[in-house]
Structure 1
Amino acid sequence: MDEVRQQLDAGRRTCITQAAGDQDQGGLGKTQVAVEYAYRYRDQYPNGVIWLSADWDLDAQLVDLAVKPRWIAPESERRYALDIARHRLRSVADCLIVFDQVQDPAALRDYLPEPAAATQVLITSNAGQPDYTAVLIAPLDPNAALRLLIETAGREPEGEAELDAARTITHTLDGLPLALELAGGQLAHGAPRFQDYLQRLRQDRGQAAPERSDDALDSILRIGTGVYAEQPLLPAVLDALAWGGPAPMGRDLLAAMLGAQDGAELSAALDLGSALRIIRPVPDSTRYAMHGRIAQLRRAQAPIAGRPDLAAQQCARVTAWFSARLDDPQQLPDFEAELDQLREWHDHAVECAPRLAARLTWLRIYVPLQRGQPQEIRRLLEQGLAEYKQHGCDDQALFACLHHDLAFALDALGDSKRALATAEQALAIRRGLFGNDHPDTARSLGNVANYAATLGDPLRALESTEQSLAIRRGLHGEWHRDTAASLNNIATYTYTLGNQQHALDMASQALAIHRDLYGERHPDTAASLLSVAYYTNALGDPQRALELAQQALLIHRDLFGDRHPDTAISVNTMATYAGALGDHQRALDLAQQGLAIQHELFGVRHPATAKCLHNTAGYLLKLGKTTEAYNQAQAAHDLFRQLLGAKHPQTLSTAQLLSRIKRPGFRIPSFRKGGSAKKAKPKK
């Protein structure tokens, strides 16, 4: 513990690991040492301790990290939460960040704090890692091992013979903390004598076949087999956790996988497994974990390849559990928390239920869709299409879904032409399967419209959207969110075609629907207010537009507070209309408020910050502050070019702004919460 403290205080990133000869052993207590260090020295870190398990989905943990301490409002979009959490993680000072169970340090590259942040980094790993100072741990000494065994057994040995037996058990188990905990749990259950337990342990280790591991943990697990059977459901629980991903599994998914109708029976199995220390309940949750080394040995004892029918049944149940949660945004956190299980069971499906592999891959895109990760979506969907063909799937509805979502990813990545062709293929399949009067057909029509508009054909976009609207009105009626979405899209395309009044009428209808469905205090109502404001301004009434934008701002502040991307968007929108009214100083002040919010949430290297810099430059130019305008515009252009590429529309737009400004001296812009930026002296 002291050595860890010394290395971290010296500014060295530190790795708690084990000697080279112990790297395959596991269970030495690396995580426990990190936990004890974090607890002992927690008061030395003003901004706290951040704990991340490197063998779980890091992004899911970051989203949870952003929401629980309210770095961002829980109702916020996932893409906001992830970006904000990443920025905080990389920039927070006076903090300890622990990455537990690191296998590949390169996977941490995007999560490590920036050099300027006074943040200490501690990792645990089975092997030493480059660029980290190793602190080696070893098996427990005899006295510490005996204390741990007695503590977990819950009783003292009675008499010298029992004490000698306890000492021999610790020696037989090589002082391995995990093995000692499991042995203590078994000793606590049924209270066998230490001497009797030692005899069983010797018998197991002496009878181990040559092909079986003589590992101490393996012996403990074999001894426990009879105890596990006391609860009929416990062996199946252990198999499900062992075959699953490394992250804890929720009780709801576990029950679905086991087909457990009797909640009391499952509770009894979980309680026994927890008492025996073979599974660990996650505090303040209904999730359960299994140590990675135990899972590895359990897999060897009960390989899934030897039970293909059961594996196929489990894959089908996992597929059904995730599929049932696709259309309910309230269940997104539960879906996201089980991503590691979804990945693992996809891999099992490839071996045991190959026709389910493509569907499990398609289910995996749900979270990247919420996070705004088009490259990951494209990778998964192309994999899913390959699996669909390779394994001879015959599920046209799934085939259409794969194409529908691939079109979205392609368009987001700038390939709108291919996106349109792919969306048309999905539409044709859905019309053949479902006919016109179906929600999926309406959804595909909306996609085709979107990509046609991007390619410069707003008339076709309008026609497709009107078809989609007619279907949705027939299915859902007027007062439905899908109807409102189609009305907003029609507003967009009619505005592009020059019919501004009709656009305003459509957006106003959508606003009325959102108010009826959700009331005034809802993000969709605020978004509709901003849409109506946009068309109102286009029709020559910037004062009314400003009032509507201010209503949206009040909703966003009420829902999310001042430090939120949607609040920044409302503030920047108000700046636009203040500028249209000729009040360029107010526009600049509002734009700088928006810039300060985005910079605090996302940091400098983010498109939202770059866009705010661009807007601020325009208002500075209007006020005749040419030097400051150039500084802001140049910074925005550099960011857009680095983040989005030289040919992105935002980059080109900022380049045009730069061309309108006579080049003065350049300096890095400041990010203040209000007022004008300080004037820079031009270079001679």
Structure 2
Amino acid sequence: MGGVGKTELALQYALKYQHNYPGGLCWLPVRGADIGTQLISFGRTELGLTIPDQLEFKEKVRYCWTNWPEGKALIVLDDVVNYQEISSYLPPAQPRFKVLITSRENPEPSIKHIDLDVLSPEVGLELLRKLVGKEGIDNELNEAQALCEWLGYLPLGLQLVGGYLDLHRTLIIAKVQKRLENQKLAAKALLYPTEQGQITDQVGVAAAFELSWEDLKDCPEAQQLGCRLSLFAQAPFEWSLVENCVIETDDQQEWDKEQEALEELRDRFLVNRNLLQLTEQKTYRLHQLIREFFQTKLAQLPEADGYKQRFCQAMVAVAKEIPDTPTGDDIIAVTPAIPHLKEAATVLTDWLRDEDLINPFVGLGRFYEGQGTYDQAKPCYEQCLEITRSRLGENHLDVAASLNNLAALYCDQGRYNLAKPLCVKALEMRKQLLGENHPDVASSLNNLAALYDAQGGYDQKAEHLYKQVLEMRKQLLGEDHPDVATSLNNLANLYYNQERYDLAKPLFVQVLEMRKQLLGENYPDVANSLNNLANLYSYQGRYDQAEPLYQQALKLLKQRLGDEHPDVATSLNNLAALYHSQGRYNLAKPLYVKALEIA
């Protein structure tokens, strides 16, 4: 049953008894969220685990459990909808793992459970006293008892009515109950029938919501804000996301004024009435029932479509901020927005503009790819391709881009037989739609060249295409452009792998200088160039020239990507191999060990 305070009770238990769990406390909201991704992220950021990127997604989950710190641990799975869907993510059946699940649904027979149907009459009264004040309740004790009974002793209903009474201190409780009775018919319209076709037992909560909704009628802006908040996924959201959805001005002074007004609406009209919750992490969330009620109200607003479109535009802006290869800091920064970005991509797809259609899917794909969770990225790119084809037609540039993104993912997974036809198709489409000489055509040619290069045995084809792309990019973008540097680097790597070092070296040197000039000294691509040049020197036995380059690259990558990134592991391994070649085994061993731990 919703509204009985399951989440709050679980939270209070976790906070009160966390000292009993030296192995840590892990809280995972389940409804509308990706539990596996949350768990992997928790393992990396909170437990400091180095999860190998080459593992499949569920293997990474198992790695987290296997390498969990010693001691008893509490795992809280809040608001579970389907037990079967979470079963594969549960920890192993070891006594040290204690799993606390909250759910509206009836549990599996094998799960020990406590039914939290309602509060006792005494506890219900005590909750009202805390919300309204002891004196006010005790002065109308009989009426307060009747009110608790009418609300079914559900904490959510009591919180809503308690907030209402606290704001209207001159009202007697009997009058408030009469108003609730008057809202009962409207309240039933907010509720969804159960599987048996019967209205749920939450009419009291819905009536309390209706009372709060009516109380906001003199401030329609607060009503509208509540409706707009219901567009967010059933997960905590940062207030800055709300501001980006609601505030549309570019003028800084106007923005500041609207920001202040928005905060006033939030605190005075929604938080004070217990319609919106402020979390421990200073984020906000709607109770699932409140969210559903607000969504019902939203459907009745003439502005609903506009609000949904604006929400989608704000999420598109988030997606566009996710770089092609996100760093660890990028991943951490965008993680809170991911459930809401998914909501825009999957639930509110119809309100995405045609020109924005692919962006949420691409952003999600990059987010998962950046963590090496390719099996999570794959459905994002597949859905993107399916939806763009359906809405935009087969012959559209965004369809070509979707083909290209999916092909690149397959290449990263080494699934070249799946990648090649997509690469070829994307290239043909771009040539047809853009002409032979266009940067996007050059990108598709480059992807096809990289495919041949990675497969091996196609050196001549790869070299020909790399050279073709290089000339195209010089012509279209100019000599000093990062994409030209990338083309030079690809060609240099091909020569290096062919042991044509006399051709590779000048290109590596040129790329390094270009990237320093175009991107700055501290860009990850500069570290890549340092490593490439160092590899060449090391292979030629010029260790004194290779060592400082390896060291520079390692330092830069740690600064930009964090100590546990796969590129850091590669850099550690390169430096270790150099020391090994020199017979400096005491220096090589710890670097090899650290690289293996990361990889």
The normalised TM-score by structure 2 is: 0.82
Deviation string, structure 1 residues 75-106 (Cα, Å, up to 9, x no partner): x99999x9988744542222222221122344
Taking a change above 3 Å as real, the CA distance of residues 79 and 248 of structure 1, as seen in their structure-2 partners, is farther
Confirm whether residue 65 of structure 1 aligns to residue 53 of structure 2.
no
The 10-residue stretch of structure 1 (306-315 or 37-46) with the greater mean CA deviation from structure 2? 306-315
Aligned to 2:458: 457
Aligned to 2:423: 423
Confirm whether residue 246 of structure 1 aligns to residue 234 of structure 2.
yes
Question: Does the CA-based 8 Å contact 1:510-1:528 persist in structure 2?
Answer: yes
- Provide the C-alpha distance between the structure 2 equivalents of 1:389 and 1:557, rounded to a whole number of angstroms: 41
Aligned to 1:340: 339
Structure 2 counterpart of 1:96, from 74, 78, 81 = 74
Structure 2 counterpart of 1:199, from 168, 178, 189 = 178
Question: Does the CA-based 8 Å contact 2:557-2:567 persist in structure 1?
Answer: yes
The 10-residue stretch of structure 1 (174-183 or 213-222) with the greater mean CA deviation from structure 2? 213-222
Aligned to 1:21: none
Confirm whether residue 294 of structure 1 aligns to residue 295 of structure 2.
no
How far off is 1:408 after superposition?
1.1
Aligned to 1:652: none
Question: Does the CA-based 8 Å contact 2:473-2:484 persist in structure 1?
Answer: yes
- Provide the C-alpha distance between the structure 1 equivalents of 2:565 and 2:186, rounded to a whole number of angstroms: 64
How far off is 1:595 after superposition?
3.1
Taking a change above 3 Å as real, the CA distance of residues 101 and 316 of structure 1, as seen in their structure-2 partners, is closer
Letter in structure 2 aligned against 1:221:
F
- Provide the C-alpha distance between the structure 1 equivalents of 2:60 and 2:187, rounded to a whole number of angstroms: 53
How far off is 1:472 after superposition?
4.5
Paired residues for 1:345-494 under 5 Å:
345-349=344-348, 360-391=360-391, 393=393, 396-435=396-435, 438-455=438-455, 456-473=457-474, 481-494=482-495
How far off is 1:554 after superposition?
4.4
Paired residues for 1:222-261 under 5 Å:
222-258=210-246, 260-261=248-249
- Provide the C-alpha distance between the structure 1 equivalents of 2:333 and 2:395, rounded to a whole number of angstroms: 27
How many aligned positions are there? 569
Aligned to 1:621: none
Aligned to 1:146: 125
How far off is 1:154 after superposition?
4.9
Aligned to 2:262: 266
Question: Does the CA-based 8 Å contact 1:349-1:357 persist in structure 2?
Answer: no
Taking a change above 3 Å as real, the CA distance of residues 574 and 388 of structure 1, as seen in their structure-2 partners, is closer
Letter in structure 2 aligned against 1:440:
D
Question: Does the CA-based 8 Å contact 2:76-2:101 persist in structure 1?
Answer: yes
Aligned to 2:29: 53
- Provide the C-alpha distance between the structure 1 equivalents of 2:518 and 2:362, rounded to a whole number of angstroms: 31
- Provide the C-alpha distance between the structure 2 equivalents of 1:592 and 1:77, rounded to a whole number of angstroms: 18
- Provide the C-alpha distance between the structure 2 equivalents of 1:553 and 1:141, rounded to a whole number of angstroms: 61
Structure 2 counterpart of 1:282, from 272, 279, 282 = 279
Question: Does the CA-based 8 Å contact 2:143-2:174 persist in structure 1?
Answer: yes
Question: Does the CA-based 8 Å contact 2:575-2:591 persist in structure 1?
Answer: no
Question: Does the CA-based 8 Å contact 2:319-2:364 persist in structure 1?
Answer: no
Aligned to 1:615: none
How far off is 1:148 after superposition?
1.0
Question: Does the CA-based 8 Å contact 2:180-2:208 persist in structure 1?
Answer: yes
Aligned to 1:39: 15
Taking a change above 3 Å as real, the CA distance of residues 40 and 487 of structure 1, as seen in their structure-2 partners, is same
Taking a change above 3 Å as real, the CA distance of residues 207 and 419 of structure 1, as seen in their structure-2 partners, is closer
- Provide the C-alpha distance between the structure 1 equivalents of 2:513 and 2:107, rounded to a whole number of angstroms: 61
- Provide the C-alpha distance between the structure 2 equivalents of 1:508 and 1:485, rounded to a whole number of angstroms: 13
Question: Does the CA-based 8 Å contact 2:228-2:298 persist in structure 1?
Answer: no
Aligned to 1:185: 163
How far off is 1:516 after superposition?
4.1
For structure 2, which runs of at least 5 residues remain unmatched after alignment? 192-198, 250-257
Aligned to 1:669: none
Aligned to 2:509: 508
- Provide the C-alpha distance between the structure 2 equivalents of 1:385 and 1:103, rounded to a whole number of angstroms: 29
Taking a change above 3 Å as real, the CA distance of residues 508 and 351 of structure 1, as seen in their structure-2 partners, is closer
- Provide the C-alpha distance between the structure 2 equivalents of 1:246 and 1:255, rounded to a whole number of angstroms: 18
Question: Does the CA-based 8 Å contact 1:546-1:574 persist in structure 2?
Answer: yes
Q: Which has the higher contact order (CA 8 A, sep 6+)?
A: 2
How far off is 1:149 after superposition?
1.6
- Provide the C-alpha distance between the structure 2 equivalents of 1:221 and 1:78, rounded to a whole number of angstroms: 47
Taking a change above 3 Å as real, the CA distance of residues 288 and 434 of structure 1, as seen in their structure-2 partners, is farther
Aligned to 1:120: 98
- Provide the C-alpha distance between the structure 1 equivalents of 2:64 and 2:231, rounded to a whole number of angstroms: 34
- Provide the C-alpha distance between the structure 2 equivalents of 1:360 and 1:552, rounded to a whole number of angstroms: 33
Paired residues for 1:540-551 under 5 Å:
540-542=541-543, 544-551=545-552
Aligned to 1:220: 208
Letter in structure 2 aligned against 1:400:
A
How far off is 1:569 after superposition?
2.8
| SS state at 2:100 partner | strand
Deviation string, structure 1 residues 408-461 (Cα, Å, up to 9, x no partner): 123234332442332233233334444566543343232121012134322332
Taking a change above 3 Å as real, the CA distance of residues 86 and 281 of structure 1, as seen in their structure-2 partners, is farther
How far off is 1:591 after superposition?
4.5
Question: Does the CA-based 8 Å contact 2:573-2:595 persist in structure 1?
Answer: no
How far off is 1:223 after superposition?
1.0
- Provide the C-alpha distance between the structure 1 equivalents of 2:95 and 2:149, rounded to a whole number of angstroms: 45
- Provide the C-alpha distance between the structure 2 equivalents of 1:367 and 1:211, rounded to a whole number of angstroms: 36
| SS state at 1:338 partner | helix
The normalised TM-score by structure 1 is: 0.72
Taking a change above 3 Å as real, the CA distance of residues 211 and 548 of structure 1, as seen in their structure-2 partners, is closer
How far off is 1:251 after superposition?
3.1
Letter in structure 2 aligned against 1:52:
L
How far off is 1:563 after superposition?
6.0
Taking a change above 3 Å as real, the CA distance of residues 326 and 553 of structure 1, as seen in their structure-2 partners, is closer
- Provide the C-alpha distance between the structure 1 equivalents of 2:17 and 2:339, rounded to a whole number of angstroms: 31
Question: Does the CA-based 8 Å contact 1:375-1:409 persist in structure 2?
Answer: no
Aligned to 1:28: 4
Question: Does the CA-based 8 Å contact 1:375-1:413 persist in structure 2?
Answer: no
Taking a change above 3 Å as real, the CA distance of residues 494 and 36 of structure 1, as seen in their structure-2 partners, is same
- Provide the C-alpha distance between the structure 2 equivalents of 1:47 and 1:116, rounded to a whole number of angstroms: 13
How far off is 1:180 after superposition?
0.9
Question: Does the CA-based 8 Å contact 2:227-2:297 persist in structure 1?
Answer: no
Deviation string, structure 1 residues 312-342 (Cα, Å, up to 9, x no partner): 6346535643454245857655544223223
Question: Does the CA-based 8 Å contact 2:7-2:78 persist in structure 1?
Answer: yes
How far off is 1:374 after superposition?
3.3
> What percentage of aligned pairs have identical amino acids?
24
Structure 1 counterpart of 2:144, from 144, 163, 166 = 166
The 10-residue stretch of structure 1 (542-551 or 441-450) with the greater mean CA deviation from structure 2? 542-551
How far off is 1:361 after superposition?
4.2
- Provide the C-alpha distance between the structure 1 equivalents of 2:494 and 2:588, rounded to a whole number of angstroms: 29
- Provide the C-alpha distance between the structure 2 equivalents of 1:397 and 1:561, rounded to a whole number of angstroms: 36
Letter in structure 2 aligned against 1:449:
A
Taking a change above 3 Å as real, the CA distance of residues 322 and 426 of structure 1, as seen in their structure-2 partners, is farther
How far off is 1:220 after superposition?
0.8
